[in-house]
């Protein structure tokens, strides 16, 4: 279902993530445009994982809305938290290795925040919190995963939709939220913003 139908403003996804587009497609939503928001994602001093995710999603939505005030803006951000620690998006093998070593045999939380802004400036927000526990990883498993490259650009150094799902001993919460866009919360906010969904 295209967002521009039923007199609804065009839907702009403020993300370049192909995973988020694929997730939206699962619930029949195809964005009319993609406009990645270029913001500083550096955590503030002493910022916790949960408020960090919420803040970034809202900032991305506002940045996109400034460029497309006519549109319905959808933005999201996913943060992996280990206690009060925010694990980074892994951009190099050393970071991915550190993240996986920290997550090995432990529980962590994945906070997936979304923000929707309508043309009248109304901001709606939601947050999905998922608990994931990894099995204890061997050095060989970590090395093999890093060699596969799935970790690149992923919060916490792993992609649950790939082979890292085999590391998950259990998960409590939203699987789609860990992938990058919690579909239940997304659908609820878009409907509240006026989009007609089946």
CA distance 175 to 186: 13
Average pLDDT over residues 1-23: 80
**For the chain, how long is the longest CA-to-CA vector?**
55
Residue 3: per-residue pLDDT: 43
Q: Exposed e or buried b for every residue in 109-142, given b needs 16+ CB within 10 A? A: bbbbbbbbbbbeeeeebbbbbbebebeebeeebb
CA 198 to chain centre: 24
CA distance 1 to 197: 8
**Could you read off the pLDDT of 10-19 as tens digits, one per residue?**
999 999 899 9
Confidence class for position 121, pLDDT limits 50, 70, 90 = very high
CA distance 90 to 113: 19
| CA torsion through residues 11, 17, 59, 103, sign | positive
CA distance 75 to 123: 11
Cα R_g (the chain), whole angstroms: 17
Which residues of the chain form beta strands (DSSP E)? Answer: 11-13, 33-34, 72-82, 85-87, 107-117, 123-134, 168-172
More confident residue, 168 or 7: 168
Residue 2: per-residue pLDDT: 46
**Could you read off the pLDDT of 40-90 as tens digits, one per residue?**
999 999 999 999 999 999 999 999 999 999 999 999 999 999 999 999 999
DSSP-derived secondary structure letter, 122: -
Give the active site residues.
77
DSSP-derived secondary structure letter, 28: T
Angle at 82 between CA 151 and CA 165, to 5 degrees: 40
Q: Among 72, 79, 174, which residue's Cα sits nearest to residue 124?
A: 72
Can you give the pTM of this predicted structure? 0.93
């Amino acid at each position: 279902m295209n967002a521009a139908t039923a007199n609804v403003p065009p839907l702009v996804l403020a993300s370049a993530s192909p995973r988020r587009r694929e997730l939206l497609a699962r619930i029949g939503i195809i964005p009319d445009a993609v406009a990645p928001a270029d913001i500083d994602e550096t955590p503030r001093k002493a910022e916790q994982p949960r408020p960090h995710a919420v803040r970034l999603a809202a900032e991305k939505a506002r940045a996109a809305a400034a460029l497309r005030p006519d549109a319905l803006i959808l933005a999201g951000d996913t943060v992996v938290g280990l206690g009060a620690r925010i694990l980074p998006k892994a951009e190099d093998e050393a970071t991915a290795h550190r993240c996986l070593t920290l997550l090995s045999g432990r529980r962590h939380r994945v906070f997936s925040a979304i923000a929707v802004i309508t043309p009248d400036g109304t901001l709606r927000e939601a947050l999905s919190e998922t608990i994931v526990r990894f099995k204890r990883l061997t050095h060989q498993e970590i090395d093999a995963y890093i060699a596969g490259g799935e970790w690149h650009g992923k919060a916490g150094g792993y992609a649950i939709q790939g082979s890292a799902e085999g590391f998950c001993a259990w998960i409590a919460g939203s699987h789609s939220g860990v992938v990058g866009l919690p579909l239940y919360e997304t659908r609820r906010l878009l409907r509240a913003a006026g989009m007609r969904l089946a």
